[in-house]
Amino acid sequence: MAKIAPDPSLLIDGGESVRRPLPDTLHVNGGDGTYSYTRNSYYQRLAANVVKEKINGAITMKLDVEKLSSTSNTICIADLGCAVGPNTFIAMQDLLDFIKHKFKLQCPNFKTLEFLVFFNDQPSNDFNTLFKSLPPERPYFAAGVPGSFHHRLFPESCIHFVHCSYALHWLSRVPEELLDKNSLAWNKGRIHYTNASNEVVNAYASQFAKDMENFLNARAKELVIGGMMIMIMPGIPNGMPYSQLAASLMYDFMSYSFMDMANEGLISEDQVDSFNLPIYTPSPEEMAALVEKNGHFSVESLELTNPASSVDGPVDINAWVTHVRAAMEGMFTKHFSSDTIDEMFDRLTKKLSKFSDQVESGYKERTQLLVVLIRK
């Protein structure tokens, strides 16, 4: 029986900075080793599969493939935050199947479509592993596009469909206020906004709003009129405190593990105080307001779903932590030694195992946000 990971938002990579860049470490572990993303991305795939039929429905009802293919029989798709596979290949195959089905419904006697898929991620992403594992019989042409999706990646009006799964929760940068000892948002002793002051939470929310504005503006330039964008990301019900989610326990225990090590003299407190995870989880209300403010897209669907509805069983703590490490370890490597990281994840696993009941109770059904937009 399949085990569930409490929050897929802990498991996926994202983009780099718009203003002051973070180190290029927002990427999953490459290769095929013990903590590689290739070996540890099963939970992410299960979470994305939950909305597979909803995406099919959105394409069937809202995507005018006949119009999009009126000037060319090539449909261009961009997968932003693709990582190293295999999940991106599965998602792209599904999208192609859905789009081809819609085209046959609209144009049963017309030409056959061709597809060009752009795989985008950070420059430091392991594109070698990605392209070595491309399906040999894939029904599309493939190209890699390194770079931050918070900026323009493609020429104007050349993309017909954008897919972005569990990448937009990564901020482009850590808010500067978190590192300022004279600021009310100084995040001393923590590495996230979980259980932090309102000033810390507001700093994270403000950065997310800036990032989304940049992201939407860039995609508005690149998508053709009538093009579709699908975004899957961690979400939180309107008004719910973040501390009630299982992810909050994970981040708190990471902080506690680092502070325990600092108290034992294994690392310094300054190392902990100067490190913050650039991760933010928006509510549907926040996302709807940001899209409306941007003005370039119409909202066809915006809803919370259950990321674990297709699996059953208790939380597998060891598997969860291993998946988290495969996706997030790069964030720690530029700040802590490898021995420190090994020790932190070992302590994290032990702490979470002792509080497995809290992990279970903190796992909420509707914590995955699906957003379907059409370029106006």
Amino acid letter at 353? S
Task: Provide the 3-class DSSP secondary structure of residue 175.
Answer: coil
Please, are residues 178 and 277 in contact by the beta-carbon 8 Å criterion?
no
Which fold is adopted by the domain 8-375? Answer: Rossmann fold (3.40.50)
Of residues 28 and 344, which shows the higher confidence score? 344
Which of 159-173, 180-194, 348-362 has the weakest average pLDDT?
A: 348-362
Q: How high is the pLDDT of residue 323? A: 84
Mean pLDDT of 134-148: 95
By the 8 A CB rule, do 149 and 218 touch? yes
Cα distances (Å, whole numbers) of residue 80 to 111, 249, 311: 28, 28, 26
- Whose tokens are 């939970």? That residue is 43
- Tell me the chain's radius of gyration from C-alpha atoms: 20
Q: What residue ranges do the domains of the chain occupy?
A: 8-375
Q: What is the distance of C-alpha 199 from the center of its chain? A: 24
Q: Is residue 259 over pLDDT 50?
A: yes
pTM of the model: 0.90
Tokens of 73: 């029989």
For residue 219, what pLDDT is reported? 98
For strand 368-375 and strand 223-234, is the pairing parallel, antiparallel, or unpaired?
antiparallel
Residue 259: how many other CB atoms lie within 10 Å: 17
